Amino acid sequence: MKIRSILAYSALACGATVTVMSAPPMSRAAVTTQSAITVAQQTDLNLVGEGEGTLSIGTRPSQTVTFVTVTSRPSQQVEISLRLADGNLQRWDGQLISRSGSEAQVRLTSAGGADATGTLTIRYQNSTLISLSGSGTLDGQPLSILFTVGDDSVSRPPVASTVTLAQQGQGTFGLQGRPNQAISFASVTVQPDDSAELTIRLVDGNNIAFAGQQTRKTAEDIVLNLTSSGNADAQGPANIRYGSNNSIISISSNGTLDGQPFFIQFSGQQASTQPPVTPPPTGAIICTGQMQNGWQYRAEATNQRFTQIRWERSGAEPTVSTLRFYRNNAQGQPVYRGSFRAATQLALVDLSGGTPRQGSQISVGVEEWGWSRGNCR
């Protein structure tokens, strides 16, 4: 969960000295056999966590998850319960496929009376759930979830999280010697060790999955080096541009598949190209600054609480990050957290101690960008 690496360094901003997809198909059988032996030697899981997360299923509006429980049995069957913000409860069933002292992976098998597929990554400490993330399908519809506990410790060492992107759209898959085929959906999953999987769904319902390795990631794009597709060899890069809400803006890839040239061109359906601009209310405090990579920010505080950051940079679409109060740090300064385009975690530290005003300062930190001081007016 990237927010840890930002919040763990919150004290730096204050002037102190202190910061899902499955494995590639060719290796799956070996991994499952070894994992089953390890899992069988460990006690049952009984995890609970209260926090905030997002559940997305197909084209339905995303739902907020507020509470999660995970329980397993000696048979390695796992039950996951999700409490939604509207009070409804969802129950998923799966199979425990691997487990360590702080992380487990579960293969989804069903959700209530519906069929389900995909892989979930569960991170925990003792009996406390830290995060739940993953993607797959529910009755044939794309599914993704990202949930983190609300009281995650700022002193916990940074732990990388799984990145899951998914988007409906239009595109073309071409393979030499065969007719081009239309693409209707694409997903990308990058594990903490940078292993990755790119999956495209054709309009005839068939899926084509590529395994590979992430070689670059910024707040706007990901580059993968593709290495296989099922039992076939694959070679070539894949460039993925992504946006808010874990959406895919575009995918461009070309290379060889079992020695035959192939290409992928995909454009995701975007609901809006510009974020809404809300004029600051009367009496609002505005704090501005600039990150080292050129992104300028404008943080707004109302009633002495910061609510959002608007980002702008020449040649790039502006975006807005919503802020949530997290906690006060050791110096009594409020810490807020949010994300840049729902993928890169960020934190804002109110250096005024909770009374932002003209002349006070903030410190803004973004994962992989570093920190910047902003001035308030």
pLDDT tens-digit map of 334-371: 999 988 887 788 999 999 988 899 999 999 999 889 89
**Domain-embedded: residue 3:** no
Statement to judge: residues 260 and 297 lie in one domain = no
Rounded distance between C-alpha atoms, residue 196 and residue 256, angstroms: 18
Mean pLDDT taken over the chain: 81
DSSP one-letter string for 115-149? EEEEEEEEEEETTEEEEEEEEEEETTEEEEEEEEE
Q: Is residue 187 part of a domain?
A: yes
Number of domains in the chain: 3
- Would you say 259 and 177 are in contact if contact means Cβ atoms under 8 Å apart? no
* Residues 43 and 147 occupy one common structural domain: yes
Q: What does DSSP assign to residue 244?
A: G
Of the pLDDT bands very low, low, confident and very high (cuts 50, 70, 90), residue 312 is very high
Q: Is pLDDT larger for residue 262 or for residue 155?
A: 262
Residues 90 and 135 in one domain: yes
Q: Which domain holds residue 189?
A: 162-271
Give pLDDT, residue 42: 57
13 within domain boundaries: no
The DSSP letter of residue 26 is G
pLDDT at 278 over 80: no
Cα 370 to Cα 346: distance, rounded to the nearest angstrom:
10
> Is the model's pTM score more than 0.75?
no
Look up the CATH number of the domain holding residue 149.
2.40.160
Tokens of 278: 């809300």
> What's the pLDDT tens digit per position in 47-64?
888 888 889 888 888 888
Domain boundary among 237, 271, 305: 271
**Are 56 and 150 in a shared domain?**
yes
Which pLDDT score, from 0 to 100, does residue 180 have?
A: 92
